[in-house]
């Protein structure tokens, strides 16, 4: 038997996946806030600016506390374990499978009608700046929750590992949401800012009637991450409900001004960040500065950290965006939209620019990132590059994601 006779064509069912005009896709997202898994079932047709999206169902599945602690423990170089990372890689795939089944149940749709899954995975470490490794300098990123395991658990094709291809071409592999922002939110006459407030805050700039090369985006700094950590430390809860703790405190403007001189905030785009920068060490340094300035009240500390998120977003806009692309509107998504104190601060800083949520544009604010990864998976099968080199710093556009097919 020669080698050529061993190569088998794709089964017809997989061939049809490429040819279908529309697809039912589940997008999965678990972010730096480590609160759980978002799963969105969407029906997608078309591509690029002609893409049509219908959100059929959305669920959020909280992480068990034991898993959340394990992920937090293994996201820090000083405490991570190769053995635990290997186990978590498989365990997360199991939980992603359960989330897919849950969102299908909510929609009343059987598994065999699902065409595709797009899965971001759980970031445990992101190194966007070149670091030495075995005689060379490399950039790297690691998202766990294996897409091949998930594909075989479900019997459905899965696309995962979206960041790697961009980083191979010199990009930062982040942020990834700007492609979704471009296809869903670009307006013929309005210049729009799209702000996602997850664990990290990222901002997309969409000039009126933008082409892909006109889109700008970057991580502005912490979103909910530091406030969540402080709420856990002071009050034993995973987040500040509705911003109530921050509303009871007073912002210390001297401490806030000092925090805004952090090197990350002063660095121009392209840039991306994560828990490795705005994690436990940053929080410890904040608490030390707070005590030195006499800011010891827990409510004042949370109020100041909440203001840091809003002020760092506005500072990034004022410093790097406003001169070239003044916003007509700021549109917010992510868990931070539920923090009324944070949203009020954004409205104050950005006034007179209106601050709205994606709900005003027909999209669930909690579902946006999960929808994004459904779109990225869909576009991979369409053969459409979805990294934006002007955003990430990559040398050229490329296809994002690895396609894993079950038997």
DSSP string, 286-315: HHHHHHHTT---HHHHHHHHHHHHHHHHHH
197 and 170 co-located in one domain: no
Domain presence at residue 86: yes
Render 102-164 in DSSP notation, one character per residue: HHHHHHT--GGG--EEEE--EEEEEEEEEEEETTEEEEEEEEES-HHHHHHHHTS-EEE--SH
Same domain for 239 and 162:
no
Q: What are phi and psi of 122, to 5 degrees?
A: -100, 115
The verdict on 231 and 380 lying in the same domain is: no
What distance in Å separates the CA atoms of residue 238 and residue 224, rounded to the nearest whole number? 10
* Two tokens, residue 168: 């191979």
Distance CA 284, CA 90 (A): 32
Contact 381/17 with Cβ under 8 angstroms?
yes
For the CA atoms of 365, 243, 59, 378, what is the dihedral angle to 10 degrees?
Answer: 30
Question: pLDDT > 90: what percent of the chain?
Answer: 89
Helix (H) or strand (E) holding 12: helix 12-19
Q: Do 158 and 302 belong to one domain?
A: no
Cβ–Cβ < 8 Å for 332, 356: yes
Mean pLDDT, range 289-306, rounded to an integer: 98
Greater confidence (51 vs 276) lies with 51
CA 221 to chain centre: 13
101 and 164 in a single domain? The answer is: yes
Residue 5 falls inside a structural domain: no
- CB–CB of 52/217 below 8 Å? no
| For range 32-56, the mean pLDDT | 94
Determine the pLDDT at residue 247: 98
The pLDDT of residue 357 is above 50: yes
Tens digits of residue pLDDT in 19-30: 788 999 999 999
Q: Give me the number of domains the chain comprises.
A: 2
Taking 80 as the threshold, does the pLDDT of residue 8 lie above it?
no
Banded pLDDT at 2 (limits 50, 70, 90): low
pLDDT confidence of residue 1: 44
For residue 362, tell me if it sits in a domain: no
- CA atoms of 315 and 333, how far apart (whole Å): 19
What pLDDT sits at residue 295? 97
Q: Are residues 195 and 304 in the same domain?
A: yes
* pLDDT of 14 strictly over 80: no
How far, in whole angstroms, is CA 183 from its chain's centroid?
17
297 in a structural domain: yes
- Cα dihedral sign for 282, 287, 291, 294? positive
Give me the pLDDT at residue 80, please.
94
| 184/379 Cα distance (integer angstroms) | 14
The residue among 110, 105, 106, 121 whose CA lies nearest residue 156 is 110
At residue 16, the pLDDT reads: 77
Query: 346-359 burial by CB neighbour count: b if 16+ within 10 A, else e?
Result: bbebbeebebebbe
**Do residues 214 and 280 share a domain?**
yes
Q: For residue 361, is it within any domain?
A: no
Q: 3-class SS at 218?
A: strand
Average pLDDT of the chain, as a whole number:
94
The verdict on 64 and 157 lying in the same domain is yes
Residue 19 forms part of a structural domain: yes
Q: Is residue 398 part of a domain?
A: yes
% residues pLDDT > 70 (the chain): 97
Q: 133 φ, ψ to 5°?
A: -155, 110
CA–CA gap between residue 298 and residue 83 (Å, rounded): 37
One domain, residues 344 and 380: no
**204 and 279 assigned to the same domain:** yes
pLDDT at 249 over 90: yes
DSSP conformational letter for 353: S
194 with 228, same domain: the answer is yes
229 has pLDDT over 60: yes
Together in a domain, 336 and 393:
no
Question: Is residue 181 included in any domain, yes or no?
Answer: no
Q: Are 360 and 185 in contact (CB under 8 A)?
A: no
Residue pair 173/121 in contact by the 8 Å Cβ criterion: no
Question: In whole angstroms, what is the distance from residue 54 CA to residue 66 CA?
Answer: 35
Last residue of a domain, one of 331, 353, 375: 353
CATH of the domain at 304: 3.30.420.40
φ and ψ at residue 364, rounded to 5 degrees:
-65, 125
Q: Which domain holds residue 303?
A: 188-353
Residues 169-212 pLDDT 10s:
999 998 899 999 999 999 999 999 999 999 999 999 999 999 99
Gyration radius of the chain's alpha carbons = 21
């Amino acid at each position: 038997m020669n080698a050529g006779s061993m190569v088998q064509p794709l089964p017809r069912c997989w061939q049809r996946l490429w040819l279908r005009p529309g697809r039912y896709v589940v997008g999965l997202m678990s972010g730096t806030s480590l609160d759980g898994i978002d799963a969105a079932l969407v029906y997608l047709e078309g591509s690029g600016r002609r893409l049509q999206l219908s959100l059929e169902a959305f669920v959020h599945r909280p992480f068990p506390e034991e898993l959340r602690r394990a992920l937090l423990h293994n996201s820090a170089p000083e405490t991570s374990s190769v053995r635990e990372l290997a186990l978590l890689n498989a365990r997360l795939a199991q939980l992603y499978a359960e989330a897919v089944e849950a969102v299908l149940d909510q929609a009343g749709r059987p598994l065999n009608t699902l065409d595709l899954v797009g899965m971001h995975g759980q970031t445990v470490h992101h190194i966007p700046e070149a670091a030495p490794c075995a005689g060379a300098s490399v950039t790297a990123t690691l998202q766990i929750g294996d897409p091949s395991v998930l594909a075989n658990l479900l019997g459905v094709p899965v696309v995962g590992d979206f960041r790697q291809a961009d980083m191979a071409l010199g990009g930062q592999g982040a942020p990834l949401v700007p492609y979704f922002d471009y296809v869903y939110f670009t307006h013929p006459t309005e210049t729009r800012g799209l702000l996602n407030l997850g664990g990290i805050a990222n901002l997309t700039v969409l000039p009126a009637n933008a082409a892909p090369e006109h889109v700008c985006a970057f991580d502005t700094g912490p979103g909910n991450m530091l406030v969540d950590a402080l709420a856990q430390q002071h009050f034993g809860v995973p987040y500040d409900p509705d911003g109530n703790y921050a509303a009871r405190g007073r912002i210390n403007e001297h401490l806030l001004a000092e925090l805004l001189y952090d090197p990350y905030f002063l660095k121009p785009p392209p840039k991306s960040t994560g828990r490795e920068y705005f994690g436990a060490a940053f929080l410890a340094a904040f608490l030390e500065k707070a005590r030195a300035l006499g800011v010891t009240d827990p409510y004042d500390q949370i109020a100041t950290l909440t203001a840091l998120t809003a002020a760092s977003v506005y500072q990034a806009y004022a410093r790097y965006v406003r001169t070239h692309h003044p916003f007509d509107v700021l549109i917010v998504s992510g868990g931070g939209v539920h923090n009324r104190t944070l949203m009020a601060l954004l409205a104050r800083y950005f006034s007179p620019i209106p601050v709205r949520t994606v709900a005003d544009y027909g999209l669930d604010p909690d579902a946006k990132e999960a929808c994004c990864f459904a779109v990225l998976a869909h576009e991979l099968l369409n053969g459409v590059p979805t990294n934006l080199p002007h955003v990430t710093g990559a040398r050229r556009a490329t296809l994002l994601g690895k396609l894993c097919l079950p038997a």
